[in-house]
Amino acid sequence: MSSTSRITLINPDRPRAPQPAALPAIEVLSAEKIYPNGTRALLPVDLTIRQGEFVSLLGPSGCGKSTLLKMIAGLIEPSDGKLMLFRRDRRESQRDVPLSFVFQEATLMPWSNVHKNVRLPLDLAGVLRAEADTRVREILELVGLEKFGHVLPRELSGGMQMRVSIARGLVTRPKVLLMDEPFGALDEITRNKLDSDLLDLWQEQKLTVVFVTHSIQEAVFLSQRVIMMAARPGRVVDDIRIETTLTRDDDFRVSQPFTHYAQQLQRGLFAASQESKS
Ligand SMILES: Nc1ncnc2c1ncn2[C@@H]1O[C@H](COP(=O)(O)OP(=O)(O)O)[C@@H](O)[C@H]1O
Ligand SMILES: [Mg+2]
């Protein structure tokens, strides 16, 4: 996975030809959520995420990040409004738009080895064993776990378990990867490494990624766009493009543009939280 070069979102040496805008992958149309107990988790949200974009949802606990992601995934229904996937109503397109969800907990089957854990979605889909095994081996290589197929999850570090979880998400060849604070439980060094590897996967697999985090640094490092959210009530307050000519590697983390964006997001979150209190 680390053999590929790091991404540069804008190549400074090449004038940018005007690109036709990519088609929408996800459209959230005035979707809001009130839970059955009366909690207003999310005010109406309007949001378009285009094919191939890497978008983060950033905000404090309780601002509705998970709620929005679960609505996109179809795990919960909006109370009002609707969602489209690849220009079709999400409820219709659900079956044929490959979409994967990666949670904070790796949620691996402890009694099954890494290979079988990653193969699970293919087994459930009825993919023939030989074909499934080949795909599992390919994906384990992609996430740097090719030597660990026979190992049980408990023998792996937290970071490696999360790689297994990502591999299981990617084995179905999704177009859209939804990630809910996937690296939140990991130490910072491991998290930074997985962030970098995720960018490689995003680029290689031409994924559309929606990534939930409450870390400003992680959002700046990863995203082309950051959707800033605030709590009480949960809502979207800003939509910020992270544009840089720098390659997103460790040097980027200590660069002036990185600091600039981190400060901008910090100020935005602070202002939004002040608004909530008043
Ligand atoms: N199943 C649920 N039933 C009732 N309230 C919920 C449920 N899930 C989340 N909430 C509430 O909705 C709000 C948004 O939650 P959530 O989407 O989990 O926020 P975040 O992921 O940003 O921390 C919070 O006030 C939370 O307590
Ligand atoms: Mg959450």
Report which protein residue has its CA nearest ligand 1's atom 14.
Answer: 64
Percent of the chain scoring above 70 in pLDDT: 91
Report which protein residue has its CA nearest ligand 1's atom 18.
Answer: 66
213 lines ligand 1 (CB under 6 A): no
- Give the pLDDT confidence score for residue 2 in this predicted structure: 47
- Give the pLDDT confidence score for residue 133 in this predicted structure: 97
Q: How far is the CA of 135 from the centre of ligand 2 (A)?
A: 31
Q: How far, in Å, are 9, 56, 143, 195, 199 from residue 245 at the CA level? A: 6, 19, 27, 19, 16
33 lines ligand 1 (CB under 6 A): no
233 lines ligand 1 (CB under 6 A): no
Over the stretch 58-79, which tens digit does the pLDDT of each residue have?
Answer: 999 999 999 999 999 999 999 9
Q: Which residue has the tokens 């599992």?
A: 136
Q: Which residue has the tokens 């285009």?
A: 50
208 lines ligand 1 (CB under 6 A): no
DSSP of 75-105: SS--SEEEEEETTEEHHHHTTTS-EEEE-SS
pLDDT class for 179, splitting at 50, 70, 90? very high
The token pair at 49 is 């995420």
* CA of 69, closest atom in ligand 1: 17
Q: Judge contact between 51 and 24, C-beta under 8 A.
A: yes
**Among the listed residues 243, 238, 241, the one whose alpha carbon sits nearest the alpha carbon of residue 45:** 238
Q: How far is the CA of 180 from the centre of ligand 2 (A)?
A: 7
Q: Judge contact between 164 and 106, C-beta under 8 A.
A: yes
pTM of the model: 0.91
Q: How far is the CA of 64 from the centre of ligand 1 (A)?
A: 6
Over the stretch 215-242, which tens digit does the pLDDT of each residue have?
Answer: 999 999 999 999 999 999 999 999 999 9
Domain locations in the chain? 106-174
Q: How far is the CA of 106 from the centre of ligand 1 (A)?
A: 21
